[in-house]
Copies of this chain bind each other. A is one copy, B any other.
Amino acid sequence: MTTREKLLESTADLLATEGLAGVSARSIAAHAGVNQALVFYHFGTVPELLEAAVRRSVDLAVASYRDRFSDVRSLGDLLALGQDLRRIERRRGNVAQMAQVMAGAQSSEALARAGWYAMQQWSGELEGVLARLLVGSPLEGVVSPAGLARAVAASTIGLELYGGVDEAGAGSALGSLRALASLVPATGGGGPEAG
């Protein structure tokens, strides 16, 4: 593993576990077991390292689901995949990472770019599936696949943050969304937020 890779990985780790406030050139370098000055040698500034780390996490994560996304044939399939995906990505810390980056977007151009990119990648993937599934469904023409995909992604971020301050509350929120999803007409379950 190169120094660059160690730094990228450590940054992603720390961002997910400690939040933005716990991420500094010093903490990253310590966690990676490399010298602090190398952060600046390889990435210029800390926000740029953060951006690179998030892009890498997202690219890896999205790519790991590409086959499963293209196998989806029904809203039921999508629902099942969504549940899996949510569970796995939360454990990996990728959802928390995105939430932190988006919260920090106000104070850094690089973080804003990273947040934009991450949302773009995930919702782009989901949008492709939704576009296929909505053809011929009662929802066709009523909701746009692009908007729906983005709504699901944004709500996931919100639920992640909420879970950080009230786990039980977030659980009940998710339960209600699942219940609502089961009401989507003519699909037998599988609404958008159900994952």
Contacts and interface: CB of A to CB of B under 8 A. Distances in A.
Interface in A98-117: 99-100, 102-108, 112, 115-116
B157 A161 contact: yes
Residue with the highest number of chain B CB atoms closer than 10 Å, among A157, A170, A175, A183: A157
Interface string A179-192: 11011110000001
Given A119-B166, A154-B158, A169-B123, A107 B175 contact: no
Given A21-B107, A106-B19, A176 B147 contact: yes
A81 interface: no
Contacts of A164: 102, 105-106, 112, 115
By size class, the interface of chain A is 35 or more
B170 A150 contact: yes
A53 B103 CA distance: 19
A169 B161 CA distance: 20
Interface stretch (A36-44, A55-63, A71-79, A138-146): A138-146
Nearest to A117: B165
A156 interface: yes
Contact of A154 (B120, B153, B161): B161
B21 A161 contact: no
Q: Which 8 A-B pairs have CB atoms at the shortest separation, nearest pair first?
A: A158-B158, A147-B176, A103-B103, A19-B106, A147-B172, A115-B165, A151-B173, A150-B173
